[in-house]
Structure 1
């Protein structure tokens, strides 16, 4: 048992180190991400398991030799690292307030995310009480192509003010995997309980699909939404968009290429504008290396599976696929969210996009960098993701209130002044 305790101690210490300093080496990138993803966002669960395992093995003879005592010391160090991870996640509310999210908007009518989901995270797979889900709604059909979505809406009838605001959710998965049943569920359930109608949308995936098929499919949903939103109690004139990772990239593209005929073949006249965008940990520039060793567009997945063109000879195509190339003055309000410890897409990618967007757009651009957050931190409920879900709801509710009042999108005066600059410190929220 002494060597079992040593093995546990080494494992717990490595998990703590990886949570705070994720590996960047290509061979370790994916395992480091998955280890960090679970150990950071489920840190309270991990802490309980670590303590229980150390006590159990030590009690059953694990301390009979030097290996066991060494393992115990390493294990204790690992648990201390896990406690530090939990402490970092507790700063989420402070980060959201500093970046400008109006967390005090209608505080009496803003219930917190349920604690039961934080204890048993996979409860998010089940629709919350008061939420109705219409699954596999067909929104586009062309021969054998059938694109579907799931609708999340309040079980009760229409809102007192009539039609409800709409929210489009775009799943991630590196443009090659993923499904509407897997991502965005904590946010969609919470938004539905706050009176929103959420649409979790599928789109064609690579390698079968070639860019910009992914974006065209999502714009087909926008055209469908204008015609069918009222059937689900949603306002066809008000829709915001969100998504993470590849979905974050697509969220930004949807918001910044409104009514661009080049991405709307056959339905060029459809209104594909949105009233707000909340991209999570997305890629925003395929051409400039920035935080990457090489331009993201030159990676194997982009050249061989997604865009399917050699990067060196087709930089214009990759530039056109980059949200940063479509930044414009009349962009809708943005709330960009990223984790500071994201090992797949470095936070510097989000910072430089926010800087460029703030320098050009007339609308508010908020940025929240989650201290200690990994990639995909919002897929299942944790303390951090629960607070971010609440913050996103408060932000979007504020945009909808301004829309109904007929005023332009804005942030509170004391926040607006801090958003005038575009320095890194400002961008870091």
Structure 2
């Protein structure tokens, strides 16, 4: 048993180290991400499990020899390292406040994420009480192609037939995997309870699809939404968009390419503007290196599966697929969210996108950098996820309130105090 304790200690210490300093080499990138992602966002579960395993091993003779004591010390260090990630996640509210997110909007009515979901994350797969989900609604059909979405709505009837604000959710998965059943569920459930109509949208995936097929499919949803929103109690003139990873990239593209004819073949006259965008840990620039030694567009994934053109001879194609290309003064309000320990898309990618947005856009741009968070942190309903979801809901509620008042989107101080019209520029984070 002493050598079992030693093995456990080494394992726990390495996993904890990876959570704080994920590996970025080609060989270790994927396993390092998955291990760190699960450890960080399920840290309370890991601490309890590891502590129980350590105690159980010690009780069966794991300390009968020097290897056991070395392993025990390493196990304690590993448990402490994971516990440190819990401490970092507890600063999420501070991070959101410093970013300018209007957390104090209607504080007496501010919703809280259910504790049960933090204890049993799998509960997020089940619609929450008070939420009605209509699945597999076809929003575009062309021959054998049938694009579908799921609709999340409050179960209660609308007061006086009032139309609800709409939220479009775009799943991630490196443009090649993923499904509406897997991502955005904690957010959509929470938003539905606050009176929103959420639309979790599928799109064609690579390698069968070639960019811009993915974006065109999402634009087709916008056209469908304009025509059918009221059937689901939603306001056809108010829609915000969100998504993570590849979904964050597509979220930014949807928001920044409103009414670009190239991405609306056959429905060029449809208004495809959105009223706000909340991209999570997205890729925003495919043609310049920046956070990477070489541009994201020069990777095998992009050249062979997504855009399917050699990067060196087709940089214009990669620029066309980059949200940063389309930033203009008429961009909608943005709330950009990224984790500072993201090993798949370095946080510097968010920095340069936000910097460019703030230089050009006349709309408010909020940026929240989640301390200690990995890529895809919001898939699990962790403490951090719960607080971020509440912050996003407050932010989008502020935008919708301004829309109903007939006032243009304003800076964050005005979102949180839109009734009296207080004004303040977004506060910079330390990461900027």
TM bin (shorter chain): over 0.9
What TM-score results when the alignment is normalised by the length of structure 1? 0.97
Deviations 1:3-42 (A, max 9, x none): 1111110111011111111101110000000000010000
* Partners of 1:277 and 1:334 within 8 A in 2: yes
The residue aligned with 1:91 is 91
Map residues 162-173 of structure 1 onto 2, 5 A cutoff: 162-173=162-173
Aligned-pair distance for 1:82? 1.1
* Partners of 2:98 and 2:429 within 8 A in 1: no
Deviations 1:81-125 (A, max 9, x none): 011100000000000000011111112222200000000001000
Q: Is the counterpart of residue 352 in structure 1 residue 373 in structure 2?
A: no
Deviations 1:329-382 (A, max 9, x none): 000000000000000000000010000000000000000000000000001100
* Partners of 2:413 and 2:424 within 8 A in 1: no
The residue aligned with 2:176 is 176
Deviations 1:270-329 (A, max 9, x none): 111000000000000001100101100000000000000000000000001000000000
The residue aligned with 1:277 is 277
Map residues 403-418 of structure 1 onto 2, 5 A cutoff: 403-410=403-410, 411-412=412-413, 417-418=424-425
Aligned-pair distance for 1:428? 3.1
* Gap regions ≥5 residues in structure 2: none
Q: Is the counterpart of residue 428 in structure 1 residue 422 in structure 2?
A: no
Map residues 120-139 of structure 1 onto 2, 5 A cutoff: 120-139=120-139
Deviations 1:233-268 (A, max 9, x none): 000000000000000000000000000001000100
More displaced stretch, 411-420 vs 394-403: 411-420
The residue aligned with 1:37 is 37
The residue aligned with 1:419 is 426
* Gap regions ≥5 residues in structure 1: none
* Partners of 2:165 and 2:400 within 8 A in 1: yes
* Partners of 1:13 and 1:74 within 8 A in 2: yes
Map residues 392-411 of structure 1 onto 2, 5 A cutoff: 392-410=392-410, 411=412
Question: 1: distance between equivalents of 2:92 and 2:300?
Answer: 35
Question: 2: distance between equivalents of 1:309 and 1:146?
Answer: 27
* Partners of 1:419 and 1:426 within 8 A in 2: no
Question: 2: distance between equivalents of 1:427 and 1:7?
Answer: 39
The residue aligned with 2:330 is 330
Map residues 278-317 of structure 1 onto 2, 5 A cutoff: 278-317=278-317
More displaced stretch, 161-170 vs 198-207: 161-170
Map residues 180-199 of structure 1 onto 2, 5 A cutoff: 180-199=180-199
Question: 1: distance between equivalents of 2:195 and 2:429?
Answer: 32
Map residues 379-390 of structure 1 onto 2, 5 A cutoff: 379-390=379-390
* Partners of 2:303 and 2:311 within 8 A in 1: yes
Deviations 1:190-223 (A, max 9, x none): 0000000000000000000000000000000000
Q: 1:208 to 1:346 in 2, by over 3 A?
A: same
Q: 1:159 to 1:27 in 2, by over 3 A?
A: farther
Map residues 227-266 of structure 1 onto 2, 5 A cutoff: 227-266=227-266
3-state SS of paired residue (2:16): helix
Question: 2: distance between equivalents of 1:115 and 1:155?
Answer: 21
What TM-score results when the alignment is normalised by the length of structure 2? 0.97
Deviations 1:396-425 (A, max 9, x none): 0000000000111112169964538xxxx6
Aligned-pair distance for 1:426? 4.1
Aligned-pair distance for 1:159? 3.7
